[in-house]
Every structure is written in structure tokens, then in C-alpha cells.
Amino acid sequence: MIKPHGADALLPLYLSDSGERARVLEESAALTNVLVSSATAANAVMMGGGYFTPLSGYMTKADALEVATSMHTTDGTFFPVPVLNLLPSVDFEIGQKIALTDPNVAGNPVIAVQTVTAIDTLTDDEVQLIAQQVFGTTDTNHPGVGAFLSQGKYVVAGPIQVLNFSYFAGEFGDTFRTAVEIRDEISERGWSNVVAFQTRNPMHRAHEELCRMAMNDIDAETGEPGSTGCVVHMLLGKLKAGDIPADVRDASIRTMVKHYFPSNSVMVTGYGFDMLYAGPREAVLHALFRQNMGATHLIVGRDHAGVGDYYGAFDAQTIFTEQVPADALEIKIYNADHTAYSKKLDKVVMMRDAPDHSPEDFVLLSGTKVRELLGNGIAPPPEFSRPEVAQILMDYYQGLDS
């Protein structure tokens, strides 16, 4: 199986030994409680599950600035985005242990214990530098920039011990999986190659066929027919207003997989992270933690992890050839164009593979049009969305008006 990033084995920071976890939790009662941001809590969840291997905790200011500008930490480890505990104020000192409490769970339980190794302050210029380098903009209307700027300027660095997986394990027990668990299941399924499909949306016909195309192409490339599986890996954390909730996406994706894919060909899983909407940089981050969970390939499509008009259509693909060193990651990128149903060919195709088509030859619907149809109880054309999936989405949109 593909090696984790920067290590021979995964480095999950969750305390899996129940006795040790209980001991640390008991000791945390005597520590200074620090209510962290949703982003910081999500970072703890990802480190706990091994997705952020080889990190041992939150980065220093020096590492954050180096990662922002060069995608490497100060010791040379490749990493595409800063992983930080940012706070608006501090009432503790270097050398202390602090109990990080969860803003997303009632009662704010302790999610992790951090040993504080450094406390630094970002200047206004440094905040703007990080935002510009990571998000490609300092526009506060960008949801990722807005979330980043709201957290505070104190950078609290140091290793962590993760005590739980926030609300993800409880609310999404059938879907949430750590990188450790996904690697174990890939081994059990006997897949030689694994293609990961990132999504924060329901999957329509074009997404379904894109996964199928990728599996077939990788089988052909490796000469091992039937050896490739697909992990649909959906984001379960915080999204921007208007995005479809995770439970609705989960139900629609599982329905699509059940009805339209062979058994033992697709795993439906999710991860606990808040979307950054960082476009190219987030695409590289997606590749890193998909390598850590055991995927050999990641599908990167048009405007992957983007929002609005902040990024070019293929910026998330070209960053891998233009900015990411060739030896930085072992995972391979499967570049995808926009996919749509061809009326001429009576199947879903990548639009780049149909140069003789005009726009009228494709079934193309805007997100606004699809939401309008669903809200009115009208299923999109079957060439666009499977009827079983459309029904789940219609029920959701009509429920918003009731």
C-alpha cells in the first residue's frame, strides 16, 4: 500500500488506549481551559485520525509563514497549508499544558490537550500574507479568508493528544472514518489501486460517471482489471451558507452507490474538517490526506475546492505541475474536465473529449436551476440526476419551505 506522507507509518494523535485516554481526560480538569475555533477543533480531529501525518501538533508562526510562502515547514517537510491554533488572547505560558475545548459540541468538552511550546503574535502584514498565499486573496467575502481572519492573531504551537473526534463520530457514525480505519478497510477489500473522490455536494450522474471513468482508466494504466476501488470521501464539517447538509449528502450518495455500482467497488466515507474553499492549495491538501488514508489517485476536477470566481477553472490541476515538487507526494492526480451528459452519444462524457459538440448537445443545468427544480418538487432530467437521488434532494428542498 502507498506510504503515508513523510513517514513510514501513520501518526494518528488520538489516544486509542482507553486507559490512557481516561487518565489524560481526568488530568485535563486541572488545566487551563481554552475554547478554540471550529477550524482549530477540526485540525485536531484530522491530526487525531492520522490525516495530517507527519504533524505532531499545531505549527509555529515560523512554520506557518514558511508553509504559506513555500509549502514547506522550516525543517523542510512538505505541507500545503498552515495547521494552526489561532487565539484572540492567551492567559497561559510556554511550557504549560492546556485543555482545548470544542466549540461545536454542547458543554464544550475537552477535545485535546496541548503542550504549549511557543506563543507568537502575527502582525497585520503577516495575516494578510498568509491569507494571500493560501487563499489567493485577502477579500473578506471569501468564506475561507473570513474564517481565518476571525480566529485571532496569537499562534499557539505545540504537540497535542486528541481525546475524541468532536461531533463527527456520533452524528455520522456510519460514515466518519479516520485515515487508520480507511487504510484497514482498503486492505480488507484487497484493492491494489484506490481512487479518491472529494465532495462537499451530492453526486449527480456526471460525478458518478467520473468515478467510473477514473477506475477504468487506472485499471487500464496498471494492467490490473478490477483491481481499483473508489473511496467517496465527503466533507462532514462546516460549510458556507446554502450548501447541502452532510446528512442529506450522505443519504443521496449512499443511494447512488447502492443502485449503480457493483458491490466491493466503492466505499462511502467522510472526514471531519471545515472547508477552506482555498482552491489550488486545498486541492494539494486533499491529495496529502488522501495519500495518508491509502489512496493512490485523487480526482481533481474543474475549480476543485473553489468558491465564486476566485480561481481559474484548472488552477487546482496546474498547481501540481507548476508549484508542487515532483517528489513531494506519492499520490497521483487524475485530472478531470467538466463532465456532462451527451445527447449525441447518449452517455456522460468529459466535455474536452467531445470537441464536435455544441452546448446544446449537452444536458447542462446550473446549480441555481437545479435548486429551483428540486424546491418545486420537479426532478431534474434523468440524464442529470438519478431518480432515487433526486427524490432525496426534493424532499430536503421542499422541507426548507414547510
Q: Which of 21, 108, 201, 335 is catalytic?
A: 201
Q: Kindly list the distances between the CA atom of residue 28 and the CA atoms of 33, 162, 191, in Å, as whole numbers in the listed order.
A: 8, 12, 41
Q: Is 85 a catalytic residue?
A: no
Q: Which of 21, 108, 200, 371 is catalytic?
A: 200
State the CB neighbour count (10 A cutoff) for residue 203: 25
Q: Look at residues 243, 201, 226 and name the one whose alpha carbon lies nearest to residue 385.
A: 201
Q: Is 216 a catalytic residue?
A: no
Active-site amino acid positions: 200-201
